[in-house]
Amino acid sequence: MTTNFDTRAAELDAADPLAAHRAKFFGTDEATQSSTPGMPLAYFDGNSLGRPMSASFDRIEAFLRHDWGTRLIRSWDEQWLDLPLELGNKIGAAALGAAPGQTFVGDSTSVLLYKMARAAIGARPGRTEIVLDTDNFPTDRYLLEGIADELNMTLRWIEVDTSSGVTPEQVAAVVNSNTALVLLSHVAYRSGFMADAPAITKITHDAGALIVWDLSHSVGSVVVELDKWNVDIAVGCSYKYLCGGPGAPAWAYVRKDLQTVIEQPIQGWWGTKNMFLMGPGYDPENDLRRFITGTTPVVGMQAMIDPVELIGEVSIEAVRAKSLLLTQFVIDYTDEVLAPLGVTVATPRDPAHRGGHVTLNHPHMRELNALLWKEDIIPDYRDPHGLRIGLSPLTTSFEEVFIGMERVKETLLSLG
């Protein structure tokens, strides 16, 4: 039986408990789409850069006119000094399953990954190996290659198929008494595979090593329970599902009992017990603040506040439930409509191992992606032959998905 995907999309939108929140994001209403040149008809790249919330426009203007423009330096004492910890607590509660005092905002994802990887390695003296996988995001791999060279350590590579991800069995096969650090992504950037974080974390601990999870493609999209999973350290970006804007500062989680055990490798004045004492030596704070290095990116945090609060309001469980419906819609459409054209699904079909995006493979996907962008349909491309359909539950409607997938079909047919 042929599915009427247009009707199915309308029914799913009508039943969507998050549908009313979509209008809170700029560019999601028909009036804006029709009046703004270049506004996408279907935005399939929220897993790379989320849409801005309309409330962020007002917040940033108020910040410029009042907090910075009028209060000037006084705003540090009035609100900015504690903002990285306060916003970190909100991210932890809304999207990470983390109790207060374990998450902070600051630096880029790459800088925080470097700091946390070095800190974890330093807490395991005498161990000489780092475990990582061949399909992790490039920055993760490049950073660990540099750290290994710097510290004369050995990299233990897990070979991963680009249509899957790292399994507990693979980790168990490589960790040993020499392992200092395991660094993996929870959701694979290429395939959307979601790893078994609790099992892999336990395997790592059983080997006496520490684990750092990169949650850049997880936070704000899937349910994460860092405290329950007993995760050591996690890092993630804020410009994907958290909709913090391009280059928004990243965040890091450090489990409470580790905060005075691991050492901050990039020592700065913000991490000291009395930052305004300007003392002659580095005396680190006894809590999470010790991992903050320099002056925090206050401007960059402004656009993060409203989306994080919205996720906390609607619950990450509700976001995940819609995410699964969105990704299943794409998979079902592909199986019925695109598979006869040679398209295959490179993302796990099992919801327990599927993140928030779906990757579709076909030899013409690079060319197809370029053509779709010209038609204001915005997915993205990843080698080999992968078209990523990124579905941000708070901003993506099922009708939008149907429109975009129909255009994928039509454009693919035009390529012959």
Dist. CA 338–CA 347, nearest whole Å: 15
The maximal CA–CA distance of the chain, rounded, in angstroms, is: 76
Picking from 359, 247, 257, the residue whose alpha carbon sits closest to that of residue 301 is 247
Dist. CA 291–CA 120, nearest whole Å: 12
Tokens of 223: 């349910």
Picking from 312, 291, 256, 284, the residue whose alpha carbon sits closest to that of residue 84 is 291
Dist. CA 56–CA 227, nearest whole Å: 30
Domain limits of the chain? 5-53+316-414, 81-313
Q: Which residues of 196-233 are buried (b: 16+ CB within 10 A; e: fewer)?
A: bbeebbbbbbebebbbbbbbbbbbbbbebebbebebbb
How, if at all, do strands 42-43 and 377-378 pair? parallel
The predicted-structure confidence for 64-117, as pLDDT tens digits, reads as follows 999 999 999 999 999 999 999 999 999 999 999 999 999 999 999 999 999 999
Options 3.40.640.10, 3.30.930.10, 3.40.718.10, 1.20.120.1200; CATH for 81-313 is 3.40.640.10
Which of 28-37, 109-118, 165-174, 232-241 shows the lowest per-residue confidence on average (mean pLDDT)?
A: 28-37
Answer yes or no: is pLDDT of 33 > 80.
no
Dist. CA 2–CA 401, nearest whole Å: 18
User: What separation, in Å, do the N-terminal and C-terminal C-alpha atoms of the chain show?
Assistant: 26
Q: Which residues belong to the active site?
A: 137, 214, 239-240, 388
- Split at pLDDT 50, 70, 90, the class of 1 is low
Q: Specify whether domain 5-53+316-414 bears CATH 3.90.1150.10.
A: yes
Tokens of 219: 């936070």
Given a contact cutoff of 8 angstroms between Cβ atoms, the answer to whether 120 and 264 are in contact is no
Answer yes or no: is pLDDT of 295 > 70.
yes
Dist. CA 176–CA 102, nearest whole Å: 28
> 19 φ, ψ to 5°?
-60, -40
